[in-house]
Amino acid sequence: MVYSGDPILAEELLFKPEHSLIDQSLHSRMGATTTNGDGFGIGWYDDDEGLEPGVYKSVAPAWNDANLREVSRHLRTRLMFAHIRASTGTAVQRSNCHPFRHGRWLWMHNGVIKGFHEIKRELIMTVDPSLYPDIEGSTDSETLFFLALTFGLEDDPVRAVSQAVGEVERVAGRHGVVNPVQMTVATSDGRSVWAFRYSSEGRSRTLFFSTKVARLLELHPEVEVLHHLGEETRFVVSEPLRDLSGAWNEVPESSCGVVGPGLAELRPFRPEPVPAAG
């Protein structure tokens, strides 16, 4: 889940909505696995633009984490990432939990790189040597992040992700792995949020973004909480937080969206093969 908008208490986002992310741990209706209990993490931005986003993550299931509840009552933020992990094979340890961070960038990924065990070495060697020492864990998700950073995520996120995915598909192809990529990705620099939905096979996990608050108020003037949400409030979620008709819009397959100050776009996305010498 990503929230962007007026400053809000993390507790409101994690524990209050009808189908909050914490509850999602237990009943993940649309997720690929029945439970998501291999870790939880949040990343949040302060108003201080010189400060890295904070990251709290843990292998403890979200519903058990007393410290998470405590801390969320005292963290106010205008942009927050939250993720529940269901391991696709790599170790359950804090360094393998999302969101991943690099400088002011946060990254979350739902999905998997098939055949990762076979192609990991080659992908890792493609990561820029100056970035390599910052890799902390062993997941496909973090590797994808560092490929995107290598291809210029900080300058042109859409292009960088496009090239990263293209690279994965190329390397997988050389190892005989078919349809390697399954992903929904969310990433941010603290100002804008980019969300991607793409799979080599065309069957990704679900991804939704929220309707503008002004429009929702027209549709549902009777819903109390809408009157308290700021105009710029946006959610990007794997599963709808609350059953409300017209509130959630599915991000189509092979698309990416970007939300930022005065900006909200949805456009096609496809991998871009990287020139051979890369």
Q: Which residues bind a second copy (CB under 8 A)?
A: 26-27, 33-35, 37-38, 44, 46, 51, 54-61, 64, 66-67, 70-71, 73-75, 91-95, 117-118, 120-121, 124-125, 129, 132-133, 135-138
> What φ, ψ does residue 252 adopt, rounded to 5°?
-65, 160
Find the shortest distance in angstroms from Cβ 29 to a second copy.
Answer: 11
238, 110 contact by CB (below 8 A) = yes
Find the shortest distance in angstroms from Cβ 90 to a second copy.
Answer: 9
Find the shortest distance in angstroms from Cβ 154 to a second copy.
Answer: 21
Give the residue among 19, 138, 34, 30 at the shortest CA–CA distance from 86.
34
Q: Is 24 exposed, middle or buried (0-12, 13-18, 19+ CB in 10 A)?
A: buried
Structural tokens at position 141? 């998700």
88, 112 contact by CB (below 8 A) = yes
Find the shortest distance in angstroms from Cβ 83 to a second copy.
Answer: 15
At position 217, the amino acid (one-letter code) is L
Helical packing angle, 140-150 and 116-126, nearest 10°: 30
3-state secondary structure of 186: strand
Q: What is the DSSP letter of 267?
A: E
Residue 250 CB neighbour total at 10 angstroms: 12
Cα(244)–Cα(101) distance, integer angstroms: 33
Nearer of residues 12 and 118 to a second copy, judged by Cβ: 118
Find the shortest distance in angstroms from Cβ 41 to a second copy.
Answer: 10
Nearer of residues 25 and 233 to a second copy, judged by Cβ: 25
Find the shortest distance in angstroms from Cβ 253 to a second copy.
Answer: 28
Nearer of residues 129 and 262 to a second copy, judged by Cβ: 129
Cα(54)–Cα(75) distance, integer angstroms: 10
Cα(108)–Cα(81) distance, integer angstroms: 8
Nearer of residues 135 and 274 to a second copy, judged by Cβ: 135
Nearer of residues 93 and 206 to a second copy, judged by Cβ: 93
Find the shortest distance in angstroms from Cβ 54 to a second copy.
Answer: 5
3-state secondary structure of 153: coil
At position 174, the amino acid (one-letter code) is R
Nearer of residues 6 and 47 to a second copy, judged by Cβ: 47
Nearer of residues 121 and 270 to a second copy, judged by Cβ: 121
